[in-house]
């Protein structure tokens, strides 16, 4: 089978071919290596490759029976460069760790490999994942394949671009302030922030933090559910991790519920949103309504989300970055320094107020989901912006004070502890992707994925097929 044909397959179709023995994991790696050579110079999504390690793992899998190869059965997986992979350069996008090669993998990587995932590349990320534009001083910027002069968003930007361009069938990412959802929106792929604990990972800093989670990215909802099945499960080393549900997520999306109760909001009442993004996301909501879902304009009261998010995000930076600030301040980008200093300046009263307010917000959102199955809104407030701009600093005439203000619409699900998916829902007049954020109640991934799959079929945007980058010269 030609490599180009394999690249065009979905992950699920690839899995069928692997199970039948019509292809091997080595064939998949050969196809990816050829595609990366062709495509990545234009987008810079996968700066670190580990094909020798991948082929060694693939051969070990091929020595096992099909039934022993795990959920993924030999499908290659790209891992974000914030996550350690044993024996592979893991930089976190920082010059401090530019040459760091860990001896052990993150336990999430261990789970993926135990389920037959073959790690072949590390995807690009902003420095320490800070900021929703993927650039760093180690590898440079990752570019949007729909227009290479524009941002891929972040912080899982490399993963999203690899998927969109056929350099990955499945890719992992992480999410605190929309880092799975923003790049999915900008690159016309699917990204899921799961309920905290759904995916076990190696925890650092404050072990019981539920702000940052690990999650799957793919080109379709079915592929994403398939990958989530492989990623989910408890582990003694992560006390917050949850057991796998009795029914697989892939199977759960087969139950199409046309009587869904859906709340739609253009802005959650808290943020400006680009007019074209408003129009496109509302059209998607109307499509769901025409298909039989009940859709109402409504959203929970999340009016204090901004102050809560700013405080708790800063606290997480103070915990995670304090020592690096002390020892390597000159090597940190200004956004990391600002966020860490903000956290170190917090009083105990500030943190208590934010924690109590977050709990109240979570309770309001939980009550809201007693009336609705899914809340939908834009995944990002703007279409892709110029790659040289560090962050979005204004929208529809409103200026922002900080580099994370434009992420408020995705911060709500983070604060509420809810699963949230970014699903492609249309294109601007310039042909740039727009994502719809679909939020479900805590632990409600199954129903959320079913709703997303239903809308995906209604919109029929053909996201299962990768594109070649549309190379545009950057303005000087």
The CATH number of whichever domain residue 41 belongs to comes to 3.90.1300.10
Distance, CA of 214 to CA of 229 (rounded, Å): 13
Structure tokens at 33: 């290596």
Beta strands in 30-109 (DSSP E): 48-49, 76-80
On the question of pLDDT at 254 being above 90, the answer is: no
> In the structure, what pLDDT confidence band is assigned to residue 390 with cuts at 50, 70 and 90?
very high
Whether 180 is covered by a domain: the verdict is yes
Query: Which residues 6+ apart lie within 8 Å of 412 measured at CB?
Result: 268, 270, 302, 305, 365, 439
pLDDT given for residue 9 in this prediction: 97
Does 45 have pLDDT greater than 60?
yes
Q: Is residue 350 part of a domain?
A: yes
Mean pLDDT of 120-127: 98
Torsion of Cα atoms, 194 then 200 then 204 then 206, to 10°: 60
The answer, yes or no, to whether the previous bond of 23 is cis (omega within 30 of 0) is no
d(CA 126, CA 135): 5
Asked whether residue 268 is assigned to any structural domain, the reply reads: yes
Calpha distance 343→209 (Å, rounded) = 15
Structure confidence at residue 259 (pLDDT) = 82
Whether pLDDT at 298 is above 70 = yes
Quote the mean pLDDT of the chain.
96
Q: Are the C-beta atoms of 346 and 311 separated by less than 8 Å?
A: yes
Cβ partners under 8 Å of residue 352, min gap 6: none
Assess if residue 431 is contained within a domain: yes
Catalytically active residues are 80, 155, 179
Please check whether residue 464 lies inside any domain of the structure.
no
Q: 473 in a domain, yes or no?
A: no
Segment 418-437, tens digit of pLDDT: 999 999 999 999 999 999 99
Share of the chain above pLDDT 70, in %: 98
Rounded to 10°, the helix 11-20/221-231 angle is 60
- What CA–CA distance (Å, rounded) separates 213 from 292? 33
Rounded mean pLDDT of 440-456? 96
Q: Which structural domain, as residue segments, surrounds residue 446?
A: 3-459
pLDDT (0 to 100) of residue 204: 85
> Is 413 contained in some domain?
yes
The neighbouring-strand residues paired with 199 are: 233
Helix orientation angle between 348-368 and 408-416, rounded to the nearest 10 degrees: 90
* pLDDT of 474 strictly over 70: no
Interatomic CA distance for residues 168 and 155, integer angstroms: 17
pTM passes above 0.85: yes
Tens digits of residue pLDDT in 80-92: 999 999 999 999 9
Other CB atoms within 10 Å distance of the CB of residue 416: 25
Cα 117 from Cα 70, distance rounded (Å): 8
pLDDT surpasses 50 at 476: no
Report residue 258's pLDDT band, with 50, 70 and 90 as the boundaries. Answer: low
Q: How many domains does the chain have?
A: 1
Domain presence at residue 327 = yes
**pLDDT for res 209:** 86
- The DSSP secondary structure of 139-180, one letter per residue, reads TEE-B-TT-TTBB--SSSHHHHHHHHTTS-SSEEEEESSSTT
What distance in Å separates the CA atoms of residue 274 and residue 325, rounded to the nearest whole number? Answer: 36
Q: Which residues contact 175 (CB under 8 A, 6 or more apart)?
A: 156, 181, 191, 193, 212, 213, 214, 215, 414
What Rg, from alpha-carbon coordinates, does the chain have?
21
Looking at residue 331, what DSSP letter applies? G
Question: pLDDT (tens digit, 9 = 90+) per residue, 204-248?
Answer: 877 778 999 999 999 999 999 999 999 999 999 999 999 999 999
Lowest mean pLDDT among 60-69, 190-199, 247-256: 247-256
């Amino acid at each position: 089978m030609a490599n180009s044909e394999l690249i065009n397959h979905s992950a699920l179709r690839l899995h069928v071919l692997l199970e039948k023995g019509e292809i091997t994991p080595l064939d998949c790696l050969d196809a990816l290596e050829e595609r990366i050579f062709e495509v990545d110079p234009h987008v810079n999504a996968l700066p670190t490759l580990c094909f020798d390690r991948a082929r060694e793992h693939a051969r070990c899998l091929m020595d096992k029976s099909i039934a022993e190869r795990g959920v993924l059965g030999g499908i290659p997986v790209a891992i974000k460069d914030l996550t350690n992979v044993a024996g592979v350069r893991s930089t976190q996008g920082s010059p401090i760790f530019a040459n760091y090669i860990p001896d052990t993998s993150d336990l999430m990587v261990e789970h993926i490999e135990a389920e037959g995932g073959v790690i072949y590349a590390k995807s690009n990320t902003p420095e320490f994942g800070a900021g929703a534009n993927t650039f760093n001083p180690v590898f440079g910027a990752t570019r949007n394949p729909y227009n290479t002069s524009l941002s891929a968003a972040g912080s899982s930007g490399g993963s999203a671009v690899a998927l969109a361009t056929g350099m990955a069938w499945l890719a992992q990412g992480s999410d605190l302030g929309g880092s799975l959802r923003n790049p999915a929106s900008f690159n016309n792929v699917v990204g899921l922030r799961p309920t905290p604990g759904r995916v076990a990972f190696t925890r650092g800093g404050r072990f019981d933090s539920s702000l940052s989670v690990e999650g799957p990215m793919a080109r379709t909802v079915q592929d994403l559910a398939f990958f989530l099945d492989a990623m989910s499960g408890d582990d003694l080393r992560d006390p917050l991790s949850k057991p796998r549900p009795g029914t697989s997520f892939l199977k759960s999306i087969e139950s199409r519920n046309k009587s869904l109760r859906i709340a739609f909001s253009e802005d959650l009442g808290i943020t400006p949103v680009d007019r074209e993004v408003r129009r496109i996301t509302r059209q998607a909501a109307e499509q769901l309504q025409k298909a039989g879902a009940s859709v109402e304009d409504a959203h929970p009261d999340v009016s204090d989300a901004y102050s809560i998010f700013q405080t708790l995000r800063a606290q997480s930076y103070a915990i995670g970055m304090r020592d690096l600030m002390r020892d390597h301040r000159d090597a940190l980008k200004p956004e990391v320094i600002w966020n860490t200093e903000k956290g170190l300046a917090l009083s105990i009263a500030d943190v208590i107020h934010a924690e109590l307010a977050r709990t109240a917000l979570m309770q309001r959102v939980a009550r809201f989901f007693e009336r609705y199955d899914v809340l939908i809104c834009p995944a990002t407030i703007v279409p892709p912006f110029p790659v040289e701009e560090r962050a979005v600093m204004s929208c529809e005439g409103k200026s922002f004070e900080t580099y994370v203000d434009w992420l408020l619409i995705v911060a709500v699900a983070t604060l509420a502890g809810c699963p949230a998916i970014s699903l492609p829902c249309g294109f601007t007049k310039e042909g740039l992707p727009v994502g719809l954020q679909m939020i479900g109640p805590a632990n409600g991934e199954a129903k959320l994925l079913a709703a997303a799959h239903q809308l995906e079929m209604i919109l029929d945007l053909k996201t299962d097929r990768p594109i070649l980058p549309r190379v545009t010269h950057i303005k000087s």
